[in-house]
Amino acid sequence: MGSSAPGVAGDRTASINGGGATVIDKGVDFANYFCTYAFLYHQKEMLSDRVRMDAYYNAIFENKHHFRGKAVLDVGTGSGILAIWSAQAGARKVYAVEATKMSEHARELVKANNLQDIVEVIEGSVEDVTLPEKVDVIISEWMGYFLLRESMFDSVISARDRWLKPTGVMYPSHARMWMAPIRSGLVDQKKNDYEGSMNDWLCFVNETKNDYGVDMSVLTKPFSEEQRKYYLQTSLWNNLHPHQVVGTAAIIKEIDCLTATVDDICEVRSNFSSSILIENTRLCGFGGWFDVHFRGRSDNPAQQEIELTTAPSLDSSTHWGQQVFLLHPPFRTSEGDDVNVSFLMNRSKENHRLMEVDLGCEIRQSSGKLLPLFKNKFYIE
């Protein structure tokens, strides 16, 4: 059977939940997760995100006091950019840890920028490496779509607990997840895609019966569930226009990077309310995004606090976009209505780097009338 499959594994794979005491198969984790980071093309994509680059650049160079003469650990150094900037900002020593063969390019880049005496690139998982000393700063760009996809912060926590001095500083220091009700034409597009796929399937079942004598109608239900999950229940990457946000945004998670544990982030649970701000609009679903801050610590603060936000923006969009959770069918709503949302996100059992979301939502109309809307499962893949 010809297939693009081999080597191009789908999102749904058989590795083990890392949220408890279970073992993660490293070969599987590499095949599923790490391998794309070994490509320069992928590194370039991230290095070309000006908002991301500016935030980290400014966070470092506007806060040289945190770096001058200090020891720094860069978790997941990739091309080595943060490690190089840390050295240029005056660090005494930078340990730049990278799990993939990208570490070889990072080493070349460090040398080409004359920083090999300061920056030591170490290939390996940060959970496994041994450093000669504890560090004053841990810097890392670990954020995935909607902050926690990829579950890379687990590795930062592990590094922090082993290698950060008691007085050490985290870069970034804080992270928040946000959600807001949105309108979006995607809801119509995905509905059409799903219905088109089902119509196509029904023709296929008919033809297979007539031409090949096999009745495949028993597979219609599982096929529709599979397609439903794919088209309607999988969150989408999108760059939302600010005008698509139709209600107030709410913080659904706050993380102090200095103290958060893996248990703290395994589950994201939030009940929030959003006021609709637009007259006579369509509630098509919810957009999720995050921001991080570089504030230092209370006893050693940043001189210049920097924010990196991935909120819907006209001219400051990032490669993260936002994650969109669509409502089928969308719902007419208007200024004065309130949307009450229950949000629960957990790691997928099959792959701890992917998420499952239980999202429930009701509308309290301005008249006082309460409309229960739905309770639905979503997948962040």
User: Where in 321-360 is the site for a second copy (CB under 8 A)?
Assistant: 321, 351, 353-354
Q: Which of 20, 69, 92, 113 binds a second copy (CB under 8 A)?
A: 113
The catalytically annotated residue of 45, 62, 141, 279 is 141
57 vs 272, beta carbon nearer a second copy: 57
Nearest distance from residue 282's CB to a second copy, in Å?
A: 27
Cα dihedral 78, 80, 81, 84 in deg (nearest 10): 160
Q: Which of 74, 154, 338, 381 binds a second copy (CB under 8 A)?
A: 381
Q: By CB under 8 A, is residue 194 in contact with a second copy?
A: no
Whether residue 62 lies in the annotated active site: no
Q: By CB under 8 A, is residue 317 in contact with a second copy?
A: no
Q: By CB under 8 A, is residue 23 in contact with a second copy?
A: no
Whether 28 contacts 14, CB under 8 Å: yes
Nearest distance from residue 259's CB to a second copy, in Å?
A: 23
Nearest distance from residue 172's CB to a second copy, in Å?
A: 13
Q: Measure the CA–CA gap between 219 and 227, rounded to whole angstroms.
A: 12
Nearest to 137 by CA among 82, 99, 58: 82
Nearest distance from residue 207's CB to a second copy, in Å?
A: 8
Q: Measure the CA–CA gap between 35 and 21, rounded to whole angstroms.
A: 24
Q: By CB under 8 A, is residue 305 in contact with a second copy?
A: no
Q: DSSP E strands: which ranges in the chain?
A: 71-75, 93-98, 119-123, 135-139, 164-171, 174-182, 236-238, 250-256, 268-275, 281-297, 300-309, 322-333, 338-347, 355-364, 370-380
What character string, x for contact with a second copy (CB under 8 A) and - otherwise, covers 202-221? Answer: --x---x--xxxxxxxxx--
Q: By CB under 8 A, is residue 230 in contact with a second copy?
A: yes
Q: By CB under 8 A, is residue 60 in contact with a second copy?
A: no
Nearest to 163 by CA among 190, 121, 132: 132
Q: Which of 143, 156, 306, 326 binds a second copy (CB under 8 A)?
A: 143
Q: Which of 17, 30, 234, 358 binds a second copy (CB under 8 A)?
A: 30
Any long-range contacts for 215-224 (C-beta under 8 Å, 24+ apart)?
A: 223/198, 224/198
Residue span binding a second copy (CB under 8 A) among the ranges 77-85, 118-126, 337-345, 358-366 = 77-85
What number of CA atoms fall less than 13 Å from residue 337's CA on the CB side?
A: 27
Q: What burial letters (b/e) apply to 200-231, b meaning 16+ CB within 10 Å? A: ebeeebeeeeeeeeeeeeeeeeebeeebeeeb
Whether residue 141 lies in the annotated active site: yes
The one-character DSSP state at 242 is G
CA dist list (Å): 302 to 93, 258, 288: 20, 14, 28
Nearest to 82 by CA among 16, 171, 202: 171
Partners of 287 in the β-ladder: 180, 324
Residue span binding a second copy (CB under 8 A) among the ranges 9-17, 91-99, 248-256, 266-274 = 9-17
Q: Measure the CA–CA gap between 244 and 239, rounded to whole angstroms.
A: 10
Nearest distance from residue 70's CB to a second copy, in Å?
A: 19
Q: By CB under 8 A, is residue 242 in contact with a second copy?
A: no
Q: Which of 20, 22, 44, 68 binds a second copy (CB under 8 A)?
A: 44
Q: By CB under 8 A, is residue 32 in contact with a second copy?
A: yes
Q: Which of 103, 227, 274, 281 binds a second copy (CB under 8 A)?
A: 227
56 vs 163, beta carbon nearer a second copy: 56
Residues tagged active-site? 141, 150
